[in-house]
Structures are given as structure tokens and as C-alpha cells.
Amino acid sequence: MVKLINFKWQQLILSLGCLLLIIGCQSLYPTTNPDAKPLKVATDPTFVPFEFQTADGKLEGFDIDLMNALASPAAGLTLSLSKGIAKVAGFAIQFESLPFDGMISTLQAKRIDAAISGITITAERLKTIAFSRPYFKAGLAIAVREDNQNIKGFNSLKGKKIAVQIGSTGADFAKTISNAKISTFNSGPEFFQDLLNGNVDAVISDAFATLYAIKNGKLKGIRVVADLLTQEYYGIAMPKDSPHLDAINKGIATLLSNGTYKQIYQKWFDAEPPQLPDS
């Protein structure tokens, strides 16, 4: 009797094991071509909540979710990354960490296939690289220390000490303020520290990232005085003649129309996404 029960258990475990193996294999390779090369995508994970690393090193954020959604078979994209064989939907991504300031030149040199990093589409950048259709409506904000009462907006910035991120649209904007003393930093955490230390009077940077950090208690002692100083749109950046541009644009359109974009937007910003232009 005991032997019989044991035998049945063994059989059950064996069949369960086989079932799990089959399911496992199917979810590993649902429709992606195992011979496909991954799309190399650069990101600077210091830009919460668009891209950041969790304590255990996992890459997370709005941009990461969007890129993963584009790569999932549900978006229906087939990128020309495979060595031929079956053309199937979906593709693999290999994320690479790069400093924001080096992103454009790395794309120009074609050492990466794409970059997603809250990169604003600008006329200047379009001279050397390509952008997907806009995927996020953004803008710049002025942040000051909570107790600062004399900076009320753009007009009170003249002659002030301002911190910005190297190579960012915030840095370009700061150059238009007369007599401003500008200090440049590699990333957000650094320039906010300088503001808190009293070394600068204001920070000019992307509004959504700043407001998110304040709302989630990550930036104590800082407030925003003018939000959305500019109107900007983020795009996925690619080398100028990228073979993936059309497919990525189609994928963004699919995610916008099938509700996936809205889901990702609500997950990170707890709000309805605004309307985006087609180009």
C-alpha cells in the first residue's frame, strides 16, 4: 500500500515537472526568434521615475516599462535583428547604462541601437540623431529651497546661481538667463544636493522627475516655483538612418491605442495621460 502511494506520488511529481518544463520553455520563447540579436538600448538610470535602479540592481521606471512593452510580442513588432529564419513578433532588449551626456555621441557612433532616457526631442539633436514619435509630454521646472521666498519664477533668476545637468535641455535653458552663474552636474541627485547645501539658488530640470521626487518624500526641503516652464516631448533616440525607426513608431502607436500606454502612465503618475502629437 505504502509502495503504491509512493509510486503515484512519483508519477504525479514527474508529470507536474514535465508540465512546468513545457510551460517554462513556452514563456521563455513565446514567439521570439532564439537566433535574434537583442536590441541594445542605452539608459542613464539616475532619472526617477523614468529610469532608476532598485536596491538589488533591477532596472525600473516608466521608460523601462514602455521599452519592454514595445519588445513584447503583443506590440506586434518584428525588428530586423535576426539572422533570418522565422520572422516572429517581439524582440529581446539588452539595456546598457550610459551617462546622459554621452548618449547622443554613442548613438552617432552607432555603438547602441537606441536610447530611452527621458530624452527631449530638440531641433539641435535632430541634426545628428533620429527620434521616434513623442512618447511623453514634459517640460522644465525651477526648484528652490523651501525657505527661499525671493525666487518666484523665471524673471527672478537673473544673476542667480543655478545648477543644471550637463548636456540637458535645462542646461540650454539656463544659458538664456542673463548674468546667471551656472554650475553643471552629471545627474539629478547631485544638483539637488548642491541646492540643499546652499551652494546654488535654484535648479532647472525636468518637471516630472522633480515633482515625483518631492511627492514621494525623496526630496525634502525643496519646492517647485514654476512648473512646465517649457513644453517638451521625450522620444526614443536612434542613429540617423536606423532600420528600426518605423517599427518603433508603429509600436508606440499600438501601445497608445490598445491601452498599454495609459496603464504604464497611470502606474507611475497616477493620472490620465495627456494627448500626444503624432510627430
Residues interacting with ligand GLN, by CB under 6 A? 44, 47, 100, 117-120, 165, 168-169, 206
DSSP for 95-115 reads EEE--GGGHHHHHHTTSSSEE
When the beta carbons of 207 and 248 are compared against ligand GLN, the nearer one is 207
Shortest distance, position 155 Cβ to ligand GLN, whole Å: 23
Which residues on adjacent β-strands are paired with residue 162? Answer: 182, 202
CA distance 50 to 117: 7
Residue 32 C-beta: closest distance to ligand GLN, Å? 29
Could you tell me the smallest distance in angstroms from the CB atom of residue 246 to ligand GLN?
Answer: 23
| Residue nearer to ligand GLN on the CB measure, 90 or 134 | 134
Closest approach, Cβ 114 to ligand GLN, in A, equals 15
Of 43 and 72, which has the nearer Cβ to ligand GLN? 43
Contact between 234 and 246 under an 8 Å Cβ cutoff? The reply is no
CB of 205 to ligand GLN, least distance (A): 7
Peptide bond into 38 cis (omega under 30): no
- Are 45 and 52 spatial neighbours (Cβ–Cβ below 8 Å)? yes
Residue 48 vs 157, nearer CB to ligand GLN = 48
Q: Closest approach of Cβ 171 to ligand GLN, in Å?
A: 8
Q: What is the distance between the alpha carbons of residues 122 and 167, in angstroms, rounded to a whole number? A: 12
Question: What torsion, rounded to 10 degrees, do the Cα atoms 147, 151, 157, 158 define?
Answer: -110
Q: Show Cβ contacts of residue 254 under 8 Å, excluding neighbours closer than 6 positions.
A: 75, 76, 260
CB of 111 to ligand GLN, least distance (A): 19
Spatial distance between the Cα atoms of 238 and 244, rounded to a whole number of angstroms: 8
Nearer to ligand GLN, 78 or 106 (CB): 106
Q: Strand locations in 139-219, DSSP E?
A: 140-145, 161-165, 181-185, 202-206
For ligand GLN, the closer of residues 165 and 260 by Cβ is 165
- In the bound state with ligand GLN, the residue whose beta carbon lies nearer, of 43 and 260, is 43
